[in-house]
Structure 1
Amino acid sequence: MADDMFEREEGCKSPKPLRCRFHETEEYTIYCKDCKDFMCFKCIGQLHQKHDLGQLQGADEDIRKEMEDMLFENKYAEQLNSLNDKVSDKEKELVKDEESLKREIRTSVDKMKQNIDLAEKRLLSRLRNAFESYQISLQEQKTNINNLQTEIANLCIDKLPEFKLDHIINSLSEMKLCCSTCDKIINHPKPGFQPTVEFSIGNVILSDGNHEGDVSALPSCSDVSIQTDFSDDSDTEWFDAEEMEEEDFIETSSDEVADEYPIKFQLRQNIKLVRKIVPFSEKDAWIIANRKLLKIIDHSLQDGVYADKVDDIVVLKDGCVLVLCSDESFVMKLLPNKRLVRFADVGINCTYIGCNPYSICIKDNIVVTYNWSITGNKHCGYTCCNHIIWMNTDGIVTERSLFSKNVWKRPCSIQNLESGVCVLYRVDNESNLHCIELLEAKSDKCNKLYCFKGIYGFNPEKNFECKGMCVDKAGNTLVSDYRHHSVYVLDKELKYKKTLFDARNGLDKPAAIGMFNNHLWVADENQIFIFNYECVGNS
């Protein structure tokens, strides 16, 4: 019956050419008795070397026998059913994979939207700072112009010979200076930005297409170029949890080219001096300016004040900030939710009344505060009362040192070293001059071990004005020299080793300095420099 069916089909249709399933341009002409399979001439060298081969026409009986066995034992159904099951399983797996990828794409897009919103917020914040700086400059000039108008209007031409020549010269000089300054500001381009945001989903790269135009800004304003990579998560955005949950993008100032240093960026125009800078990542830092605690994120000063009346800070490993105010005996703790809570009362059991904290530092989970008070006057002499307290990160006091000196020396900054406590003092209340001493930490009296004796033959107590101090990994002390536009390295005995950076590197009035990894942050009026720092070593 099967033979009759084949005969009827052959009678109705022309026979199809017997094309090889491995080589579409070749026809079956050979039968392999070992494999019981058909082949073309190309198959011989690839699949059936040294097999028992014969002509296809001579294998008629073997071929029919194979078909008969398959039909008789119903093997074809079992085999095809198995193949069908495997294809169905693969189809279900494919559907699951597609749904899984859809969910991942939706998650990535949601995450991207959040980061785009955050990038927009950052750009707008930077733009606000830039224009605010420009507007402050314009307002200052308007005030100068109004003052000058009033002053010159009071000059009577008839009484001009009666005025002193110095007064006339000063008025003319102010007029010329005002004209020159206004010309510079007016002819400067307005602050502008050239934001470029790029991001990716899987292998798809998207861009806002904003690559055209070259906008120049005032020296106090930076252009911004932002590139966002959502595969890199940041662990440094601990504080603004409600705003910074997906801190995955990298923002780069236009002053920063690749990984070249130094990096320089501007703060607000009304910031004239940064008293303290504590970097906690490559691009982020806490600063104290105008006795306010402020925060830098991605080389940009953020809006908002985290604490007022701040004189010194340290950052704990959990990201919380210890805040010290010389007007209060309590050291406060700034939590991640922005709450200020009491950390430790360093005024308790203090022998000297009014001996409040002026400086704080941390090393190896040991917090050190330097309390100070002064009695007497310039004519009768001063008595300086000093109280150094060591405590753990829970605020529990472990050691105290009490001592007094008959000299006016107020602590400005301290560093806890292996050999003792390094203290930056202001030497009098009339000038801004400073000295540095290394005190023996284990002594109840904190005897002086070494002192900084100056550089280039200058007596430090007559020439040294220092606004910042920090320590590198080798135990060297780094100090800023405000008057000589420099940052120095001092060895463990406070001897001068070398000048790291000075006016040749762009420094004018270096103040607060801070170290993070191999990068030194230097505050210079309302701008920040970040230098690549190679440790000088112990030699």
Structure 2
Amino acid sequence: MTCTMAQSQAQDVIRCQYCEDEPAIFHCVPCGDELCPRCKDFHLKSKVPSGHNIVRLSERLHPTNQIKMCEVHSYKAYEACCEDCQVPVCITCIQEVHGKHTIGKLQDLYEKQKAETENELSRMKGQYKSEIIQRIKDFKEGEREITTSYESEREKMKVQAQNMIDHISTIFKEALQLSEEDERRNRNEISQRIAEAEGFEQNLDQLIEKFETFTESTHPADLILFRKQNPDIFKQLKLPDKLKIVMPSFTVGQIKKSQNEHQFGMLLIGNVKSCNESLQPIERNWSVSKNTGRSVKISETKTKKEKLFHVSCLSDRSAYISGDGPGIQLLDRSGTELDNISTDGQPSGLAVMQDGSLIYSDYDNKLIYKVSLNKEKTKLISTKSGPKGLCCTRSGDILVCMGLFNTARVVKYNSSGRKSQEFETDQNGESLFIDPWFICENVNEDICVSDWRKSKVVVLNKSGNLRFTYDWVVLAGILKDRFEPRGVAADILGHILIADANNAVHLISQDGEFLSLILTEDDGISRPRGLSVDRSDNLWLVEEDNVCVKMYQYLF
């Protein structure tokens, strides 16, 4: 058995292809020959066009030591590389195409590109892998949240529908009860009249019978005596009054779709859009993120006012604007005036309610007006101090900025104008605002307030607790001066957009993380003031001094 194993091991030894006696230790890559040490020297003296590349036999299977045939000339092996074209080449490739190019070692190009590939591989395994895992996690979390959210909203709708059903059922029962009671009352009245008429008829029959007897079969003296004793008997006959019966009538009410939705409530539909954000390095250099280059101007319109302050979208094709002096215009995206609403004073804030009605604040007269779709104007809210910016929430409430310094606050009213909450201080009793002017609600019902004296955007949750403040850190070469926030708006993806009087529009996440400047003076904007995002997530912007209304698409 020992002898058999020894023979097997002896047969496994690779012999030199030249002397066939000594074990092969070396391998010539171009020639493919296995060589012993003695024959290696002899082999190197032989001349071949490609030259020799001797490696140890144990290294012959390494990728760099294997022969790879040229893709263009399949009968030739790759032997070098063209440094100009960055491709491997064979002898024929050099002769036919790359003769005037710089030819280098294949191993050198391989090592260079191997280092780059290993660096990219490291990034893919690290940053890209972690990024895509996080995005998948976020997508699944978003899927779970949107499912939960829709289920929650549908439950609210079911509760509201049941409440309306119960309310209608109560109205129906009350109406039935009223009709039954009214029927009993009328029937009793008629029954009483029937009894009276039947009694009259019975008395009349008896009188007729008596008169007939007196005139036909009794002695004449009987009739004379009867008439003497009852001289007014005929005059006393008084017929019961006639009845005028008014039949009941039920008028069917008309339920219009808009009224029905207004009474039931409105579902603001959700949306899912791509942000088109490519994977970026983990360490971001914000000093060079001057502009994302992802905003496209759709339209621009000049107005006749001397200054513009506010804009509020009615739809994705029209918006209300106001500026210095009285009056509010409704413009379409081409600048055509669709409507003009007269006001007593200069509007200090604009907003559109869920039913399409316009509300605007009048700072000087301390009033908030409502203008319905049929242009009926009413005083909705009377305030103690001048109301400034306002917005309508997803739940139908109205948020209003008021006051200055120690009276600065945000007040919440319901759609009927009744005050429900005030937000003045944070959890530690510190004042939240100095001079709040613009306000909006985010998709997660956060309250976003622009305070220009404080140079911050203050964000509260729907209960009024402070979530975060955003105060822009001036970056070299991007802004000329301090952060001067003006209009704020929110889109369907949860972004918060902020107009900065220093010729910029900021885009931040719903958690206050700076994302980018989607517009700067390089895009031609100057002192942006009011912002509004329409249902298609287009940004409407008014410039204070240029009196321009501009519309941009910034999500792709």
Structures share fold, TM-score greater than 0.5: no
Q: TM-score, normalised by structure 1?
A: 0.42
Higher-Rg member (1/2) = 2
Q: TM-score, normalised by structure 2?
A: 0.41
Higher relative contact order (CA 8 A, sep 6+): 2
Relative to its length, the structure with more strand (as a share) is 1
